[in-house]
Every structure is written in C-alpha cells, then in structure tokens.
Amino acid sequence: MTENIVTVTKEEVEEFVKTTQFRGYQNITLPYGIIVPGDNLEKESDYLLPETLTGQSVLDIGCDYGFFCHEAKKKGAATVVGLEMNQETAKVSKEIAEIIGDGVEIVHGNVTDLANNNLEIRDNFDTILLLNVVHHLTDPIDIISKVAQLCNKMMIIEFPIPSDNKFLMRKRGYKKEEFYKNPLNKVKFKLEKGFIKLLQKRFPIIGIGGVEYHNTFYFSEKSFDNLFRLHHKSFTKIEFKKSSRKLDRVIAYCEK
Ligand SMILES: C[S@@+](CC[C@H](N)C(=O)[O-])C[C@H]1O[C@@H](n2cnc3c(N)ncnc32)[C@H](O)[C@@H]1O
C-alpha cells in the first residue's frame, strides 16, 4: 500500500472542518485524527467491500465525500476515481482527497454522461461501486447496462427494494405528520409492507416511485437478476446480501 502524502498542517485541516458546511452523510477521518462529521460507515465498509482490492482500478459512482474511495485505497487499490454529480459535494470531496493525500481523484459529473461516453473518464475499471444511487436515476436499466461495459471484474450495487418505507409512504402521497394522526394508517401500512415483502421475495417485481429524483426505481432481487444477468447479459453471476446500513436495501455483487 502506498503512503499518503500529507502536505497540510493540523491548523489548516482544523480550519477546513470549521469553515465547511458538511451534509453529514459520510464521516471521514482526516490527518491528525480530525473528523468530517457524518454517519460512521467503517463497519459498512468492512461488510461491503472485498477483503482486498490490491492493484485494482476502482470507480465509485455517486461517491458523496469519497468515503468508499478512501476505503478502497486502504484496501490496496492502485487507482481510485470518485464521480459525484452534485457540484458542492464534489468540491468538498476534492478538498478532502487533497488533504488525505492518498491519490484519490474526484470528478464532478453525471453517471448518465459517463454511460453515454460524454465524460473524460475513458478507461475501464476493475471494480465499480454504485452505492445508493440507483433510486436517483430516471433510467437505471440503460445506465447500469452501459456502465457494466466499463467494468472488468465486479460491480457492487447497493439499492432499495420495493418494501422501502419511503417508497411505500410516498406511493400514496402520505405526509408523515398526517399519516401518524390516524392510528389505522399504521396497521394498514404494516399489512401493505408485509404483502410487498412476500411479493418481492417470490416475484421479479419493480416499484416505480412518484417523486422526482428521490424515488425512481425499486428492484426486487429477482427482477434485478432477470434484467441484468438474463436479458442484458451485463453480468455472468449476481449474488445478493442484505445491506448492513439500511433496512429494505440490498447489495448486489455483479460479476462480469
Ligand atoms: C444517497 S448518496 C450515496 C453516497 C454514497 N454512494 C454512499 O453510499 O455512501 C447518493 C449520491 O449520489 C450522487 N448522485 C445522484 N445522482 C447522480 C448521478 N446521476 N451521477 C453521479 N452522482 C449522482 C448524489 O449527489 C449523492 O452524493
């Protein structure tokens, strides 16, 4: 593993953390033990990433502040690129990468452009991460099948399934505050969720949300496997395991 090249002083790192508005999604440890505040994902990283990525090239799509990029580097990846669509998030993640000094490269851009060859990322990658981004995409089928062509070994995709609470609540236009005023709603919701859970276990179903950007697609494991392995032939084998971070999400290990 290569050594990080830290060129900033403790005072500079402290100043960065003090003067930056963080969105709190990913907690990242900077040099001198200074922490970017957010959810601690260390356990998730051990659970989700392969034991080693020695010598591999890794792309993390929708990388947020780049937590998984830096974890991939720690696991021996030779090159790591993080792609992030949100301009402000990309800017902060670039600053974090510079401070850490491990050679992670952050690119500001949209995965749709990457899929359609409109981004300056040309090379293929051994491992591609697409974690908790699928439900933000308007055409994940097109995007995943195209991005799979840029992958040599394995895509790791974490996505919500149709029993996801937000999907079920928003499907009916429920607002949280109004919803809980009526105790019957809770019972109805539990029944509905139970039914969907049964359905998604046995059938290849896809949920399509009714809220722009946040709630687009929710695949059951069987629909995901049918789509990307059987029909698109993007992968030869897909294995699933439960997400350790969120309920009603799964992690798909998609082998080329
Ligand atoms: C829910 S967060 C997940 C962050 C990270 N992958 C994780 O699991 O911790 C989704 C991230 O994907 C980014 N994103 C959403 N749509 C994107 C797109 N079309 N292209 C690239 N990034 C996108 C968002 O800006 C956000 O940072």
In angstroms, what is the span from residue 83 Cα to ligand 1's centroid? Answer: 8
Tens-digit pLDDT profile for residues 135-171 = 999 999 999 999 999 999 999 999 999 999 888 887 6
Q: Which residue has the tokens 């109805």?
A: 188
Which residue's CA is the closest to the ligand 1 atom numbered 7? 131
Residue 27 lies in a domain: yes
Higher pLDDT, 3 or 191: 191
Q: Is the pLDDT of residue 174 over 70?
A: no
Residue 125 lies in a domain: yes
State how far Cα 74 lies from the chain centre: 18
Question: What was the pLDDT predicted at 13?
Answer: 97
Tell me the CATH number at 237: 3.40.50.150
SS3 state at 186: helix
Question: What was the pLDDT predicted at 28?
Answer: 96
Which residue's CA is the closest to the ligand 1 atom numbered 5? 63
Residue 29 lies in a domain: yes
Among residues 4, 100, 115, which one has the least CA distance to residue 62? 115
Burial 218-243 (b: 16+ CB within 10 A, else e): bbbbebbbebbbeeeebbeebebeeb
Task: Pick the range with the lowest mean pLDDT from 46-60, 63-77, 81-95, 185-199.
Answer: 185-199
Indicate the average pLDDT of the chain: 93
Q: Is the pLDDT of residue 1 over 70?
A: no
Atom of ligand 1 nearest to the CA of 129: 6
In the structure, which protein residues have their CB atom closer than 6 angstroms to any atom of ligand 1?
Answer: 26, 61-64, 83-86, 89, 110-112, 131-133, 136-137
Strands 206-211 and 125-131: what pairing?
Answer: unpaired
CA triplet 72, 107, 63: central angle to 5 degrees? 45
Please check whether residue 150 is in contact with residue 254, taking contact to mean a CB–CB distance below 8 angstroms: no
SS3 state at 174: coil
Among residues 4, 61, 64, which one has the least CA distance to residue 38? 64
Residue 168 lies in a domain: no
Q: Is the pLDDT of residue 179 over 80?
A: no
Residue 36 lies in a domain: yes
Please check whether residue 62 is in contact with residue 111, taking contact to mean a CB–CB distance below 8 angstroms: yes
Q: Which two tokens stand for residue 118?
A: 């409109």
Highest mean pLDDT among 71-80, 112-121, 180-189: 71-80
Question: What was the pLDDT predicted at 178?
Answer: 76
Residue 87 lies in a domain: yes
Share of the chain above pLDDT 70, in %: 97
Atom of ligand 1 nearest to the CA of 41: 9
Atom of ligand 1 nearest to the CA of 112: 19
Domains identified in the chain, total number: 1
In angstroms, what is the span from residue 219 Cα to ligand 1's centroid? Answer: 18
Q: Is the pLDDT of residue 221 over 80?
A: yes
Q: Is the pLDDT of residue 69 over 90?
A: yes
Residue 207 lies in a domain: no
Q: Is the pLDDT of residue 115 over 90?
A: yes
Residue 200 lies in a domain: no
Q: How many Cα neighbours within 13 Å face the side chain of 192?
A: 15
Higher pLDDT, 98 or 189: 98
What range does the domain containing 48 cover? Answer: 10-161+218-255
Which residue's CA is the closest to the ligand 1 atom numbered 14? 62
Atom of ligand 1 nearest to the CA of 110: 20
In angstroms, what is the span from residue 131 Cα to ligand 1's centroid? Answer: 7
pTM here? 0.95
Pocket test for ligand 1, best of 39, 41, 64, 108 (most atoms within 8 A of CB): 64
Question: What was the pLDDT predicted at 172?
Answer: 62
Pocket test for ligand 1, best of 26, 27, 85, 139 (most atoms within 8 A of CB): 85
